[in-house]
Amino acid sequence: MIDNLPFLVVAITILLGLYTLLFRKDLIKMIMGISLIEAGVNLFLIALGYRWESIAPIFTGAPSLAMVMPTVQALTLTSIVIGVATLALLLSMVMIIYRHYHTTDVREVTKLQG
Amino acid sequence: MIEAFTLSTGFGSWNAVFWVISFAIALIIGWLIWSRGEKTYETSAEATASFLSGNAEPEKEAVHIRAGNLYWGYTDALSGYYRFIKPLHTGNLSDYFLAYLFVTALMLIVVVILK
Amino acid sequence: MDIILDNLPGLLIAIPLLGAFLTPLVSRAGDAARNIWVLLTVALTSLCGLLIASRVLETGTIVYTFGVQHLSEIIPPDSGGIPIRIIFTIDPLSAFMLIIASIVSFCIILYSLSSMEKLSGKDGFFTLLLLLIAGVYGMIATGDLFNFFVFLEISSLAGAALVAYRIDKGVAAEAGLKYAALSTLGGLLFLVAIGFLYVQYNSLNMAVIASRMNLTGLDIIAFVLFFTALAMKCGAVPMHFWTPDSYAMAPSAVTAFLVVSSQASLYALFRVCFTLYGGQINPLTVGWVMIILGVLSMFIGVTMAIPQKDVKRLMAYHAVSQTGYMLLGVGVGLAALSSTCMFNSVGMTALKGGLFHIMNHALYKGLLFLTAGVIMYRCGTRNLNQLGGLGHNMKWTMVFFMIGALAIAGIPPFNGFASKLLIYESTFLFNPLLAVIAMVVSILTLASFVKVFHSMFMGPKLPEYEDVKEAPAPMLIAMAILAILVILFGIFPQTVIDTLVAPAATALIDYHGYAAAVLGAQS
């Protein structure tokens, strides 16, 4: 049971992020929801690599050779960096939208419809 | 060599080169007929002006039919369908996400249940 | 020379990335220097793409590892059995997509050199465009799932920034935001699916996962996440809402390449359905899901296109509709895999039709978007209610538009007819209703392009467009390249199918061959 605790937390985080994304009406809050989902996915990737009673995957002066999986840590680092770039782009677009539309309510930002 | 030009579906074939050649022959025949026409026709302004029962010809902008007025009959006939589907295309970003997650959920049900 | 030819897949990504990051530096030396630099970069990259494609079509799948000399060293001896190299697997289907990307990327850069002449912020524009091109090449060439995710995100972000480029009173920023937000959510769910697969099979390589796969519940959930994320990225109804918004507001050269980017996602969808899960999922169910998505896309795309007033939004709805044709063709091919006799009679033709349609669509849709861009460049408006009578002044643009419009409607002798004929004939034998819907959609496509042609080019010369000039020479050359290819592929379709499409279709259904090419070379 306690093995699966990280995955339970991941599921809760992603669901909270999806809830924020779908049911909040402010663009900035929706982007916070995307950030929550990203955090959940990163935690999921790291938790996939964990092995009981293992140490960090560094060979120099290692006390024992049972190590956690290193590949997922590389995946997570890449994903964090992509997430930073994505959030920066999304937030700058919201800033431009605010400057021209004077609102960040997602129901008002609908000039492209039909 | 002809096979290189022929698209063969499993059920028939289509050769575009024959089509182009027959189209060209048709154009040549049309040109031959046209060149035997009356060569002394003068195209002065009076001869080619449009006749509108003596009324003045309206402005160029009023004559050109704009895009919103074309296919009026089609849009009117399918107005029920358009009344359903155009409001579905709101510009609302939340609706875009809802549609995506709805299709994901639907497909999960389809693939898991109808294995 | 040999060392360059052996490392071409690496150069395919390295050249546009290097070109992209050095563009702001080179533009310090002036506009002409930057134009030459960008054109040279994309010409070299297209040359790389075409060379790789020709090598693959001659000698079979190329497997290229980053960082080792031979594929046998892919597992470093001291890593405890964990293969940690990234591999590019270029099989004939990837080669087919590489040819499309090479041709269209060269034409749009040539076009945008002159369409961006009087605008500001050009270093950012060309940097992002070269990054988008690098991202699309990476998506097509890679054989590794996480590498695909990285290139998917690169092309989404660069594409979204380019969509929002001319802010256009905030409307373009709204379109860019929608594209970026949806792509991010899709990418994150894609990453969750990669996690599900990694934890079971301990590898990120598509061929290794395909050979080790043993279908479990987690695998099915991962498949659904892959399928819907990639289907959303290529604009299948009902996840298509971002497509008209972003294609309309982007600069025209960018839109023509966003079409290729959507098709790279379509390629990945086929890769997941046929190769990654080859032989594991039920082809009838997934095939019918693809067919239903395709039919919905075709019909809703074209019926939403007819009442549009913005010419690029109309063309974007047509892009959704034509993606439906590709999904229909390949969906029939996938569903026909479930029974051997049906596959031998119908499935291969449908697959060939669907794949051929991808190439034809990239060519004629690129041509149409470039002509719409010329109209925007010269007349300053995209609103069909305000245009008219441009055929008097812009004769070449009118000819190119006619070629593109006849091709998309499926009129002989252009290339649209050849691929649509294959799709009609095979889907009619599979299920007649599908072929009837496809033909009705084709008629409606012709109707809406006749509407666009009349309201843009026909009619008397309007006073406000008295002195509109023809498009400048680089734009005309770019459109001419695409138009000539449209005509050539229409007059000689069997040659194209025999050399390009048939190897791609055979490689698509041969998932054992894909895995063997990567794993067999390992010994």
CB pairs under 8 A between B and C: 155
Q: Using one digit for the tens of pLDDT, what is the confidence trace for B6-31?
A: 777 777 788 888 888 999 999 999 99
Q: Does B89 touch chain A (CB under 8 A)?
A: yes
Q: Which residues contact C513 (CB under 8 A, 6 or more apart)?
A: C61, C91, C507
**β-pair partners for C89:** C63
Residues 29..58 of A with a Cβ closer than 8 Å to B: which? 30
Per the CB < 8 Å rule, is C413 touching B19? yes
Name the residue of chain C whose CA is nearest to B112's CA.
Answer: C220
List, for residues B22-76, the tens digit of each pLDDT value. Answer: 999 999 999 999 999 887 777 777 777 777 887 887 877 788 888 888 888 999 9
Whether C394 contacts C471, CB under 8 Å: yes
| pLDDT for the residue C60 | 87
Of C441, C407, C415, the residue nearest C427 (C-alpha):
C441
B94 touches chain A (CB under 8 A): yes
Residue A114 domain flag: no
* Residue C91 and residue C61 in contact, taking contact as beta carbons nearer than 8 Å: yes
DSSP assignment letter at B65: P
Q: What is the DSSP string of C231-267?
A: HHHHT-TTS-THHHHHHHHS-HHHHHHHHHHHHHHHH
User: Would residue A109 count as lying in a domain?
Assistant: no
Closest CA to A93 of C248, C172, C252, C168: C172
State the Cα–Cα distance between residues C513 and C499, nearest whole angstrom: 19
Q: How far apart are CA B80 and CA C321, in angstroms?
A: 21
- The helix/strand/coil state of B69 is helix
Percent of chain A with pLDDT over 90: 68
B101 within 8 A of A25, measured Cβ to Cβ: no
| pLDDT computed for residue C520 by the predictor | 66
Q: Are C293 and C350 in contact (CB under 8 A)?
A: no
B5 interaction partners in chain C (CB closer than 8 Å): 491-492, 494
Enclosing domain of residue A90: 2-101
Two tokens, residue C85 = 């190299």
| Per-residue confidence (pLDDT) for residue C70, from 0 to 100 | 66
- Is residue A106 assigned to a domain? no
Q: What is the enclosing helix (H) or strand (E) of C87?
A: strand C87-90
- List Cα–Cα distances, C422 to B8, C94, C428, C496, C501, in angstroms: 9, 21, 10, 13, 12
Question: Of C174, C422, C460, which has the smallest distance from its Cβ to B64's Cβ?
Answer: C460
How far does the CA of residue C254 sit from the closest CA of chain B (Å)?
A: 22
Whole-angstrom CA distances from C186 to B78, C224, C414, C505 are 34, 12, 36, 27
Q: Could you tell me if B37 lies within 8 Å of chain C, comparing CB atoms?
A: no
pTM of the full structure = 0.94
* Chains with 3 or more CB pairs under 8 A to chain C: A, B
**What are residue A67's DSSP bridge partners?**
A55
Q: Which residue of C has its CA nearest to A103?
A: C170
Q: Do A109 and C174 touch (CB under 8 A)?
A: yes
Measured distance CA(C95)–CA(C141) in Å, rounded:
8
CB C232 within 8 A of CB C290: no
Q: Which chains touch B (3 or more CB pairs under 8 A)?
A: A, C
Phi, psi of C510 (to 5 degrees): -100, 75
The answer to whether residues B9 and C425 touch, using CB atoms and an 8 Å cutoff, is yes
Q: Which residues of A touch B101 (CB under 8 A)?
A: 18, 22
Residue of B nearest to C384 (CA): B67
Task: For B3, name the nearest residue in chain C, comparing CA atoms only.
Answer: C494
Backbone angles phi, psi at B12, to 5 degrees: -175, -170
pLDDT above 70 coverage of chain C, percent: 96
Note the helical H segments in chain B.
Answer: 2-5, 16-35, 45-48, 60-63, 72-77, 79-85, 93-113
What per-residue confidence (pLDDT) applies to C522?
52
Mutate to test the interface with B, among C239, C291, C332, C390 (most CBs of B within 10 A): C239
Query: Sign of torsion, CA C7 C13 C18 C23?
Result: positive
- Is the distance from CB of C179 to CB of C163 less than 8 angstroms? yes
Residues from chain C that touch B115, judged by Cβ atoms under 8 A, are 282, 285
Q: Rounded CA gap, B105 and A24, in Å?
A: 21
* Main-chain dihedrals φ then ψ at residue C512, nearest 5 degrees: -65, -40
The helix (run of H) or strand (run of E) holding residue B6 is strand B6-9
How close B76 comes to chain A (CA, Å)?
A: 17
Question: Which residues sit opposite C205 in a β-bridge?
Answer: C144
Tell me the sheet residues that pair with B8: B13
Partners of chain A (3+ Cβ pairs below 8 A): B, C
A108 is a domain residue:
no
Q: Taking CB atoms and an 8 Å limit, are B91 and A25 in contact across chains?
A: no
Q: Give every CB contact of residue C141 below 8 A, 6+ residues apart in sequence.
A: C9, C12, C13, C52, C88, C89, C90, C94, C98
The dihedral sign for the CA sequence C379, C384, C386, C391? positive
- Residue A50 located in a structural domain: yes
The beta-carbon neighbor of A113 closest among B89, B94, B101 is: B89
Find the Cα–Cα–Cα–Cα dihedral C320, C323, C329, C332, rounded to 10°.
Answer: -60
Q: Which residue in B16, B107, B112 is closest to C493 by CB distance?
A: B16
Establish if A21 belongs to a structural domain.
Answer: yes
Query: B85 to chain A: nearest residue by CA?
Result: A114
State pLDDT tens for residues C280-305: 888 999 999 999 999 999 999 999 99
Predicted pLDDT at C516 = 85
Tokens of C154: 């690169």
Q: How far apart are CA C366 and CA C399, in angstroms?
A: 15
Partners of residue C345 in chain B, C-beta under 8 Å: 10
Among residues C220, C221, C203, the alpha carbon closest in space to that of C212 is found at C203
Residue of A nearest to C184 (CA): A86
List the one residue out of A3, A74, A15, A4 whose CA is nearest residue A40: A15
Contacts of C147 in chain A (CB under 8 A): none
User: Best interface-test mutation with B: which of C392, C455, C457, C464 has the largest number of B CBs within 10 A?
Assistant: C455
A110 in any annotated domain? no
User: CA of C425: how far to CAs of B16, C216, C343, C358, C499, in Å?
Assistant: 17, 37, 14, 17, 21
- Rounded to an integer, what distance in angstroms lies between the CA atom of residue C422 and that of residue A7? 48
In a mutagenesis test of the A interface, which of B95, B96, B102, B104 is the best target, namely the one with the most A β-carbons within 10 Å? Answer: B95
H, E, C per residue of C182-236: HHHHHHHHHHHHHHHHHHHHCCCEHHHHHHHCCCCHHHHHHHHHHHHHHHHHHCC
Chain C residues with CB-CB distance to A112 below 8 A: 171, 174-175, 178, 244-245, 248-249
Average pLDDT over residues A70-90: 94
Number of H helices, E strands in chain C: 22, 2
Tokens 């001319």, residue located: C166
Q: What's the structural domain count of chain A?
A: 1
Q: How many residues does chain A have?
A: 114
Give C323-353 as a DSSP string: HHHHHHHHHHHHHHTTSHHHIIIIIHHHHHH
What pLDDT is stored for residue C75 in this prediction? 63
- Tell me the average confidence (pLDDT) per consecutive run of 10 residues in chain C, 523 residues long: 86 94 92 94 96 93 80 60 75 95 95 89 92 96 93 96 91 94 96 94 87 89 95 92 94 94 96 90 91 95 92 95 95 90 85 94 95 92 89 92 94 90 92 94 94 90 87 93 94 90 92 83 50
Contact A110 B91 (CB under 8 A): yes
Query: In CATH, what number is assigned to the domain containing residue A94?
Result: 1.10.287.3510
Do residue C238 and residue B102 have CB atoms under 8 angstroms apart? yes
Q: Does the distance separating the beta carbons of B98 and A114 come in below 8 Å? A: no
Contact call for residues C259 and C363 (beta carbons, < 8 A): no
Nearest-Å Rg of the Cα atoms of chain C is 22
* A113 occurs within a structural domain: no
- Measure CA A93 to chain center: 19
Q: How close B85 comes to chain A (CA, Å)?
A: 9
Assign C119 to helix, strand or coil. coil
Helix (H) or strand (E) holding C89, with range, is strand C87-90
Give C-chain residues touching A81 at CB under 8 angstroms. Answer: none
Q: Can you tell me the distance from the alpha carbon of C12 to that of C97, in angstroms, rounded to the nearest whole number? A: 13
Residue C233 pLDDT = 95
Number of other CB atoms surrounding residue C155 within 10 Å: 27
Tell me how many residue pairs between chain A and chain B have CB atoms under 8 A apart.
28
Check if the beta carbon of residue C521 is closer than 8 Å to that of residue C110. Answer: no
Q: Which residues pair with C62 in a beta bridge?
A: C90
Mean pLDDT of chain C: 91
Q: How far is C127 from B68, CA to CA, in rounded Å?
A: 39
Mutation to test the A interface, candidates C79, C166, C183, C188, most A Cβ within 10 Å: C188
Contact: B64, C178; criterion CB under 8 Å: no
Contact state of A97 with C177 under an 8 Å Cβ cutoff: yes
pLDDT in tens, A37-70: 999 999 999 999 888 888 888 888 888 888 888 8
| pLDDT computed for residue C523 by the predictor | 41
